[in-house]
């Protein structure tokens, strides 16, 4: 029996948005203006993802400083303090499906303004916390805005604006989280230390983080982001002209009927959706190890003669982020060339090998450690890039914003659970003077999870596509 072929990343845009203009009826000058508009929207989406990186990567750098200041006698474990980040992500998870229903009414640009303001205030509020209650409260406020804005809207914007090269553009956009991580590492590594050690302290650093978050979210939302290309009389980039013409004069319902895919209710009633949801959660748990890499490096200072310093740990984290940034657009290109699962398999194999080596390295290490940690970071690209693309592959574009509003929460859920699990790994029966030894073992063997994820992705894609064929054009 012939197996269904695995499609690539180029799928129609959401709900037929921006089908009103034929892409072939422009002169060269107008075409350059159009190209600049596609580029500016992409840059705006990248900037919003930089804000996301301040939360996803930057906040992990505050946990140890907060713990040392508020609980100097070690009354609370690092894993316990880290639970405020879990609360943040859980609230963001709850908001994403709501944002998926709101975006059709208020638009992504407005969601960025509303959510970006809320989460900026939440980050500023974290700087005033004096215990777990404050961390939980302001973490939840941050998550509220985060889930409805930068953790969701940039993906929908890319899906609305691009048909051709969608995988590559999506890779460029989600690489913004890595840029946000590098920026956070460079800024907070210098400002986080207490004033007595030449820094500004974690409270002032969080205020700086709130300002950076607002800068990279609110300003691009104002100047660059547009909900959909039809708002400017533009077509979806690379949309076949025949499809655009066939629905040019149609209503939103007519356009939706011309676009394949399941509706939200149909997807949620499908077992394939929940299989894919579980796989994306597992992927988040797997790659939550990135939340703990920085303290793992810092801990190496406890080894006599290791040569590890905070500055070297920061440099290693920068190498990890560079690997992540470079891998995302390359993975998008690979997905378009050979398909989702094959591209994932290649990068997961690289990540598994690099993770195993990282778990065996004893410091001081030679310069090739920077290559290893860069490849570890490259593997993390799978976590943020593949969920939005696999959503379209498996369940189509008819109701993409609403479906991704649910599915996209799965990766955040995995990160929320995984961040706590990885923080606790090094405390289970470990030598108090040499913690994190179990983390080494976990890094060596966690690649087993990738086999489960790959198999689940393949089954869900094929099952979802079969469900689409059973419901062609169903209103």
- The enclosing domain of 402 has a CATH number of 1.20.1250.20
Assigned token pair, 458: 């393949």
- In the prediction, which pLDDT does 302 show? 65
Q: Would you say residue 6 lies in a domain?
A: no
- In the prediction, which pLDDT does 30 show? 63
- Report phi then psi at 128, rounded to 5: -100, 0
- In the prediction, which pLDDT does 82 show? 82
Q: Can you list the residues of the chain whose pLDDT is less than 50?
A: 1-25, 242-258, 475
d(CA 178, CA 311): 19
Instruction: State the Cα angle at 121 between 120 and 126, rounded to 5°.
Output: 100
Sign of the Cα pseudo-torsion (397, 411, 105, 163, in order)? negative
Q: Looking at the 3D structure of the chain, how many domains does it have?
A: 1
- In the prediction, which pLDDT does 246 show? 43
- In the prediction, which pLDDT does 207 show? 96
- In the prediction, which pLDDT does 33 show? 67
- In the prediction, which pLDDT does 232 show? 86
- Total Cβ atoms within 10 A of residue 24: 9
Q: Would you say residue 240 lies in a domain?
A: yes
Q: Would you say residue 2 lies in a domain?
A: no
Q: Would you say residue 178 lies in a domain?
A: yes
Beta bridge partners of 261: 396
Q: Would you say residue 4 lies in a domain?
A: no
Q: Would you say residue 361 lies in a domain?
A: yes
CB 340 within 8 A of CB 394: no
Output the pTM of the full model.
0.79
Closest CA to 435 of 423, 448, 419: 423
- Total Cβ atoms within 10 A of residue 195: 9
- In the prediction, which pLDDT does 10 show? 45
- Total Cβ atoms within 10 A of residue 253: 10
- In the prediction, which pLDDT does 185 show? 81
User: Which structural domain range is residue 378 located in?
Assistant: 14-470
Q: Kindly report each contact of residues 305-309 with a partner whose C-beta sits within 8 Å and lies 24 or more positions away, as own/partner.
A: 305/364, 306/363, 306/364, 307/363, 307/364, 308/363, 308/364
d(CA 107, CA 102): 7
**Residues of the chain by 3-state class (helix, strand, coil), percent to 5:** 75, 0, 25
Q: Would you say residue 171 lies in a domain?
A: yes
Assigned token pair, 169: 């553009």
- In the prediction, which pLDDT does 276 show? 96
CB 208 within 8 A of CB 191: yes
Closest CA to 385 of 175, 153, 154: 175
CB 336 within 8 A of CB 9: yes
């Amino acid at each position: 029996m012939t197996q269904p072929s695995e499609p690539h990343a180029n799928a129609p845009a959401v709900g037929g948005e921006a089908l009103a203009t034929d892409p072939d009826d422009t002169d060269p000058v107008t075409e350059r203006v159009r190209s600049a508009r596609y580029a500016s929207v992409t840059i705006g989406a990248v900037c919003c993802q930089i804000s996301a990186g301040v939360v996803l990567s930057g906040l992990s750098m505050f946990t140890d400083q907060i713990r040392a200041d508020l609980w100097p006698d070690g009354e609370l474990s690092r894993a316990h303090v880290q639970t405020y980040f879990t609360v943040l992500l859980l609230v963001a998870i709850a908001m994403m499906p709501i944002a998926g229903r709101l975006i059709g009414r208020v638009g992504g640009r407005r969601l960025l303004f509303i959510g970006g303001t809320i989460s900026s205030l939440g980050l500023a509020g974290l700087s005033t916390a004096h215990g777990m209650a404050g961390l939980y409260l302001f973490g939840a406020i941050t998550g509220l805005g985060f889930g409805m804005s930068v953790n969701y809207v940039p993906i929908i914007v890319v899906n609305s604006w691009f048909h051709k090269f969608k995988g590559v553009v999506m890779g460029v956009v989600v690489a913004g989280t890595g840029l946000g991580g590098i920026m956070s590492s460079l800024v907070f590594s210098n400002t986080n230390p207490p004033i007595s050690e030449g820094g500004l302290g974690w409270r002032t650093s969080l205020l700086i983080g709130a300002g950076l978050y607002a800068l990279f979210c609110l300003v691009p939302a104002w100047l660059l982001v547009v909900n959909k290309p039809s708002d400017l009389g533009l077509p979806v980039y690379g949309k076949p002209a025949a499809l655009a013409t066939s629905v040019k004069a149609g209503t939103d319902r007519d356009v939706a009927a011309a676009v394949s895919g399941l509706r939200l209710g149909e997807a949620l009633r499908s077992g394939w959706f929940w299989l894919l949801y579980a796989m994306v959660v597992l992927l988040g748990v797997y790659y939550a190890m990135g939340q703990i890499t920085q303290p793992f490096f810092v801990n190496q200072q406890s080894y006599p003669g290791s040569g590890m310093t905070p500055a070297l740990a920061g440099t290693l984290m920068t190498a990890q982020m560079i690997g992540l940034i470079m891998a995302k657009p390359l993975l998008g290109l690979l997905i378009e060339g050979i398909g989702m699962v094959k591209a994932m398999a290649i990068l997961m194999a690289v990540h598994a090998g690099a993770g195993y080596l990282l778990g065996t390295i004893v410091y001081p290490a030679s310069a090739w450690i920077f290559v290893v940690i860069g490849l570890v970071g490259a593997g993390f690209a799978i976590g943020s890039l593949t969920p939005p693309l696999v959503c379209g592959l498996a369940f189509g574009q008819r109701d993409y914003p609403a479906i991704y509003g649910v599915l996209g929460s799965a990766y955040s859920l995995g990160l929320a659970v995984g961040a706590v699990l990885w923080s606790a790994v090094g405390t289970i029966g470990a030598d108090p003077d040499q913690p994190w030894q179990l983390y080494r073992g976990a890094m060596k063997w966690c690649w087993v999870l990738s086999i489960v994820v790959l198999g689940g992705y393949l089954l869900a894609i094929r099952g979802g596509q079969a469900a689409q064929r059973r419901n062609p054009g169903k209103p």
